Structure 1
């Protein structure tokens, strides 16, 4: 039992070592050199404590106290990291979406409608618009693949009777000098952002300039549920504008947050690993009646692939019609 206890404690310390090194590498202030110093101090503290678990010597107790002090300092610093809406944001997430409702009319502020020529060459355009939920006709799920079949970015597009399609996307809110990092998403590197954008912006930039594979699946959903989901996005965006939150790669990402919004609308919708491995979401939706089950899933998958049409269309006014 003594050896088992020592082994378990050692395992916990090794996990703490890895976690602390990752946190310090991503978040520690002071530049590259100082970051390495913080990492070395943390490693020395943990390794000293680890040695004291197995070898009883006169430095064992001081090593444990040093580890406890280092762990307390690291924990206090970690807890002190707070999200903010006041940073030097990248252009594509520079503004916070907000909205207000009057009857069936929803007015949104800061809808993104960029003209993308490449990932770094674009015309910035943010606009306001109103939408009548009485005319809401369709909901489509867009999946954009960039790193294999298991991982995709999830977007939800709402179609209206006048031909407009508005896309909501839960994304990292990166600063001007940052780029997406899956690992960074575990360690408070990014704030959370809800973007509302025209399809000609947000679907085109993924299929065209970024070279991602984009699929668009029509979702089977009653109109009342469509309205509830639309309003859930708006309410979530309003809350983020007032009280920012961190993005998390697993617990608060582009798919799990959509699930949180849909679950009150569709009671009994189960948790599933495919909510994390979002590239397999079509299988999940097909199984639970979210897609047209009168056709085989592979047929729906082929029909949903809009990559070529989207890339060829470019950011044109009738983009939504062309990709459909």
Structure 2
């Protein structure tokens, strides 16, 4: 029994040591050689203690002291809005709320010639909540079928859709890495944008595969969900937060918003982590149209060809929705 306890404790120490070693490699103090050297000393020191230091209580004591030091250091890594940002995430959106009127500042409307060649443009847009009709979701695939980027887009009568994409806020010269996303390497940003920006960028310039699903949510639910987003958007201006690839990403953040406004939302599902299968979850929950078999609905929802054909058309948002099933009740 004692041996089993020691073995379990050793495995736990090793697993935590792996995590903290990676944290030192990616987030430790510069220069890079110092981070890597510090991580190596920590990892090899832990392994040496487990192999040769006796009694085991001494291992726990020494490793525990190191853990406290690491936790203290980890707490000193703070998110910030004051960095040299890449141009596409240089400005934070903010929202003025006056009754039914929402004025969004710094709505991104970039004009892309290629992914890296573009004219940066931001504008202010005012939306009337009484004209809100529903919300749609885009799933964007760039590699594994199990992983997608999710973008929510609110639909208004007589106004362009309002797309909000939860992303990593990258600094100049920084590349995205899902692995680094666990270790406080990126702040989180809510990119408020025109669909021609965040969608056409992915379909027409990055060559990513994009699927659009119209959701069954009522205007009332779409409204409280948008207002919950607005609270976070304004909160990030004053209190920046880190992106986390597991618990604070483009999909789990949406889940948090949904649960906040709808406590009766369906229980957590593994497809929220393997979010490439999120559309199947939406279908199983009857949140999207279910009159067609799922495979047929998914085929219709693939919008790359329509997005490329629409390209710079002012009716881009309407054209990518042509022929898509809409489960919402028709307006009287």
State the TM-score, normalizing by the size of structure 1.
Answer: 0.93
CA shift for structure 1 position 317: 2.6
Q: Which residue of 2 aligns with 1:273?
A: 270
CA distance in 2, matches of 1:29, 1:315: 45
User: Structure 2: how far apart are the matches of 1:6 and 1:129?
Assistant: 61
Within 1, Cα distance between the matches of 2:55 and 2:158?
A: 77
Q: In structure 2, how many angstroms separate the alpha carbons of the residues matched to 1:39 and 1:118?
A: 40
The equivalent residue for 1:71 is 67
- Of 156, 171, 174 in structure 1, the residue corresponding to residue 152 of structure 2 is 156
Tell me if the contact between 1:25 and 1:35 (Cα under 8 Å) persists in the aligned partners. Answer: yes
Which is worse superposed, 28-37 or 92-101? 28-37
Tell me which stretches of 4 or more aligned residues in structure 1 moved more than 4 Å: 63-66
CA contact (8 A) 1:99 1:109 kept: yes
Structure 1 residue corresponding to 2:294, chosen from 260, 273, 297: 297
* 1:51 to 2:47 alignment: no
Report the counterpart of residue 20 of structure 2 in structure 1.
20
Deviation at residue 315 of structure 1 after TM alignment:
4.0
Equivalent residues of 2:184, 2:244 under 8 A apart: yes
Contact 2:133 2:218 in 1 (8 A): no
Does the aligned pair in 2 maintain the 1:142–1:217 contact within 8 Å? yes
The aligned counterpart of 1:30 is 30
CA distance in 2, matches of 1:232, 1:39: 40
Listed one character per residue, the Cα deviations across residues 6-64 of structure 1 (whole Å, up to 9, x for unaligned) are: 211221221122112210111112122112211122123212321245x559xx95x76
Q: Supply the distance in 1 between the matched residues of 2:132 and 2:277 (Cα, whole angstroms).
A: 27
Aligned partner of 2:112 in structure 1 is 116
1:306 aligns with 2:311: no
Aligned to 2:98: 102
**Separation in 2, partners of 1:316, 1:82:** 43
Alignment of 1:259-270 (within 5 A): 259-266=255-262, 267-270=264-267
The question of whether the paired residues in 1 share the 8 Å contact of 2:228 and 2:261 is answered with no
Tell me which of 217, 220, 228 is aligned to 1:221. Answer: 217
State the secondary structure of the residue aligned to 2:199.
helix
Residue pair 2:109, 2:193 contacting (<8 A) in 1 also = yes
Matched, 1:87 2:83: yes
Native 8 Å contact 1:165 1:320 kept in 2: yes
Distance 2:197 2:61 in 1: 55
The answer to whether the Cα contact below 8 Å between 1:200 and 1:316 also exists between their aligned partners in 2 is no
In the TM superposition, what is the alpha-carbon distance from 1:314 to its structure 2 partner? 2.6
Q: Secondary structure at the match of 2:107?
A: strand
TM-score, structure 2 as length reference: 0.91
Query: What root-mean-square deviation, in Å, do the aligned CA atoms of Structure 1 and Structure 2 show?
Result: 1.9
Please give the alpha-carbon distance, in whole angstroms, between the structure 2 residues aligned to 1:202 and 1:283. Answer: 23
Number of residue pairs aligned between Structure 1 and Structure 2: 320
- Name whichever of 200-209 and 288-297 sits farther off: 288-297
Q: Which residue of 1 aligns with 2:248?
A: 252
From 164, 168, 178, the equivalent of 1:168 is: 164
Contact 1:49 1:64 in 2 (8 A): no
> Secondary structure of the residue that 1:164 maps to in structure 2?
strand
Query: Which blocks of at least 5 consecutive residues in structure 1 are unaligned?
Result: none
Separation in 2 of the partners of 1:301 and 1:123?
A: 33
**More deviation in 257-266 or 295-304?**
257-266
Deviations 1:223-279 (A, max 9, x none): 111111121111110111111111111111111111121224442421111111111
Q: CA offsets per residue over residues 44-93 of structure 1, 9 Å max, x none? A: 3212321245x559xx95x7665344322222111211111111111111
Quick check: 1:116–1:315 contact (8 Å CA) kept in 2?
Answer: no
Give the aligned partner of residue 243 of structure 1: 239
